[in-house]
Amino acid sequence: MALQDRMQVAQTGAELVKALAAVSYCLLLTLLLLLPVFEADAAQHCGSRVTFLPRNPAASCSDDRLRDALSSCAMRCALEARCRGVRLADNGGSGGVCALLSSELEVNASATAASATDCTGDRVLAWKPEQLQLSGCSESSTYNGNCNNAIDGSLDQNHDSGAVCSHTQATVGNEWWQASMASRAFVSLVRIYNRQDGSESRLNNFAISVDGLQCASYNSAQAFSIKDFPCEQVGTTLKVTQRFSNEFLTMCEVIAFGRLL
């Protein structure tokens, strides 16, 4: 065999070994049931952003039709002290049937039962979302309510009663508000309380980002009172940016749910 041919065979063999190693690594993450510490790693090495444990951890299910339903199911778990995880049964529709799991045994059994075929079928969230502590806030400008009002634990939505919400000015092109988490965290969902004493429509067009990466947005003619936004992003800084130009940004409370990494 000529030297050039031998070099070509060696290069092909090296590429094959590298590919097999990558596949083995992804399979290892699958066997480990994608514990949160491995989820970000799986996203980096397996080419998908795996958040909840789908039936095929190597597949990209971030645009799953059951994503919002699973986030809502996870929120029920977060508010229930005895809940340790959730299972969302696929009923063929967009809502699914939510079941709260009260023990680690149930969570592990449900996760193990999930086959590795595709992204259809039951979903299992193998960990419980917790409220993430937000602090160290800042904002683009301040009018008559400082940034801490959005993370002080008060759910009062009547800003005019005593400047209880965060409230920027309307002089910057796109006003913003941000706060930090205690450490690097996976943010599964963000809940925002809008003011309810007038001017609710000011919060009709905004974006939510974590460490500069947008994870959710809202753009509607319909104003909301309280709304949950699935985020599914990893980072340390949560930011809300007003997308109306030269408009106030007012939020009465911002609550993030997820897990510290």
Helix, strand or coil, per DSSP, at residue 54? coil
- Give the residue carrying structure tokens 């109306």: 244
Helix, strand or coil, per DSSP, at residue 31? helix
Helix, strand or coil, per DSSP, at residue 45? helix
Sorted by where each begins, the domain ranges of the chain are 7-128, 131-260
Residue among 212, 255, 215 at smallest CA distance from 233? 215
Total-model pTM? 0.60
> CA-to-CA distance for 190 and 201, rounded, in angstroms?
19
CATH classification number, 131-260, choose in 2.40.100.20, 3.90.1150.10, 3.50.30.60, 2.60.120.260: 2.60.120.260
Other CB atoms closer than 10 Å to residue 181's CB: what's the count? 20
What does each of the 261 residues of the chain score in pLDDT, given as a tens digit? 554 555 554 455 555 444 444 433 333 333 333 333 333 333 333 322 223 343 333 334 444 566 677 777 777 777 777 777 777 776 666 667 788 877 766 666 655 554 433 444 566 655 667 899 999 999 999 998 899 999 999 999 998 888 899 999 998 789 999 999 999 888 889 999 999 998 899 999 999 999 999 999 999 999 999 999 988 788 999 999 999 988 999 999 999 998 887
